[in-house]
C-alpha cells in the first residue's frame, strides 16, 4: 500500500515539477547559447547583453522558484490531500495512517533531491563546452585527491556520512513541518495560526534540547577537544562517534515528529 500511495503522490506532484524542471533546462541551454554567442561575436553587443541578462535573470528566478515551489508543494500536498476534502477519501482507504505520512515524506524528499540534482545539472549545462567533460573529470579528481590528502581514507567515509546526515536532517525537517500542520488542524478556528505556532514551538524546543546536549557534551569532553581539524585528521574513531551521536539525535527528533503526526491524524483527525 505504501508503494501505491507513493506512486499517486508522485503523480499528483509531478504535474507541477516536471514543467518547472523542463523550463529550467531550457533556460540553461538558452543561457549557454547566449554565452557562446557573446564570446564569439562583437556585433550587437548591447542587444545580446540585454538578452543574456534577461535570460540569466529568468534562469535564477526559476531556480529560486523551484525551491520555493518544492517547499510549497510539500506543505500543500499534505494539507490538501490529507486534511481537506480529499481527506475523506484518503483516510477511509484501508491503509495505516503511518503509511500516508511515509508516502508524503518520501515523495517530498525525492522532490527536494531531484530539485537539487536538476539545479546542478542546469549549472553544468550552462558551463558546457567542448572541453567540458575533460575539465569536469579533472575537477572531480582534484577534489577527491585533496580530500584524501587531508582526511586519509576517512575522507570517503566522511562523504558518505555527510550525505546520510543531509538526508536525515531533510527528513527530520519535513516531519517537523508535518507535525506542525497536524497540530494546527486540531484547532478548528485557527488552523494556520496553530500550525505556525506549533512550528515555532517545535523549533524552540529542539534548539533548546540541542543546546543542552552541546553544553553537556562540551563540558564533559573539554579535555579532548584540541582542535576539530586535528581530530578529524588524526583520530579515526571520535569523529565517527560524533557523527553517530548527531544521527541518533536527529533520529530521535524525527521519530518524535513522526509519532506526533501519526497520533494526531489517527486519533484527533478534524476533517470539516
Contacts to other proteins by CB under 8 A? 1, 4, 8, 12, 15, 81, 85-89, 91-96, 266-269, 271
- Closest distance between other proteins and the C-beta of residue 14, in Å? 10
> Residue 71 corresponds to which cell in the numbers above?
517547499
- Please, which residue, 36 or 96, has the CB nearer to other proteins? 96
Among residues 28, 112, 111, the alpha carbon closest in space to that of 62 is found at 28
Q: What does the alpha-carbon distance between residue 84 and residue 171 come to, in Å, rounded to a whole number?
A: 23
User: Quick one: 191 or 239, whose CB is closer to other proteins?
Assistant: 191
The smaller minimum CB distance to other proteins, of residues 81 and 250, is found at 81
CB of 85 to other proteins, least distance (A): 5
Distance CA 13, CA 207 (A): 32
In the complex, what is the shortest distance from the CB of residue 96 to other proteins, in angstroms, rounded to a whole number?
Answer: 6
Cβ neighbourhood burial of 45 (10 Å; 0-12, 13-18, 19+)? exposed
Our CB check for other proteins shows the closer of 89 and 220 to be 89
Cβ atoms 103, 6 nearer than 8 A: yes
**Nearest-approach distance from CB 187 to other proteins, in angstroms:** 11
DSSP 241-263: HHHHHHHHHHHHHHHHHHHHHHH
Amino acid at each position: 500500500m505504501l508503494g501505491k500511495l507513493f506512486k499517486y503522490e508522485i503523480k499528483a506532484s509531478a504535474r507541477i515539477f516536471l514543467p518547472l524542471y523542463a523550463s529550467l533546462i531550457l533556460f540553461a541551454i538558452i543561457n549557454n547559447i547566449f554565452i557562446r554567442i557573446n564570446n564569439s561575436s562583437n556585433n550587437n553587443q548591447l542587444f545580446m547583453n540585454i538578452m543574456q541578462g534577461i535570460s540569466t535573470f529568468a534562469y535564477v528566478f526559476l531556480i529560486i522558484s523551484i525551491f520555493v515551489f518544492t517547499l510549497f508543494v510539500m506543505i500543500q500536498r499534505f494539507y490538501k490531500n490529507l486534511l481537506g476534502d480529499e481527506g475523506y477519501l484518503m483516510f477511509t482507504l484501508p491503509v495505516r495512517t503511518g503509511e500516508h505520512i511515509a508516502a508524503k515524506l518520501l515523495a517530498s524528499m525525492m522532490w527536494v533531491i531531484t530539485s537539487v540534482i536538476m539545479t546542478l545539472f542546469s549549472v553544468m549545462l550552462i558551463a558546457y563546452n567542448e572541453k567540458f567533460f575533460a575539465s569536469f573529470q579533472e575537477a572531480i579528481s582534484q577534489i577527491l585527491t585533496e580530500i584524501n590528502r587531508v582526511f586519509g581514507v576517512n575522507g570517503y567515509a566522511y562523504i558518505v556520512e555527510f550525505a546520510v546526515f543531509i538526508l536525515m536532517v531533510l527528513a527530520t525537517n519535513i516531519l517537523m513541518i508535518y507535525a506542525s500542520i497536524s497540530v494546527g488542524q486540531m484547532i478548528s478556528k485557527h488552523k494556520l495560526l496553530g500550525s505556525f505556532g506549533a512550528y515555532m514551538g517545535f523549533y524552540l524546543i529542539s534548539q533548546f534540547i540541542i543546546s543542552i546536549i552541546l553544553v553537556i557534551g562540551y563540558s564533559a569532553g573539554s579535555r579532548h577537544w584540541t582542535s576539530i581539524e586535528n581530530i578529524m585528521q588524526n583520530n579515526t574513531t571520535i569523529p565517527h562517534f560524533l557523527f553517530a551521536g548527531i544521527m541518533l539525535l536527529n533520529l530521535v527528533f524525527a521519530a518524535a515528529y513522526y509519532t506526533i503526526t501519526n497520533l494526531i491524524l489517527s486519533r484527533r483527525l478534524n476533517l470539516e
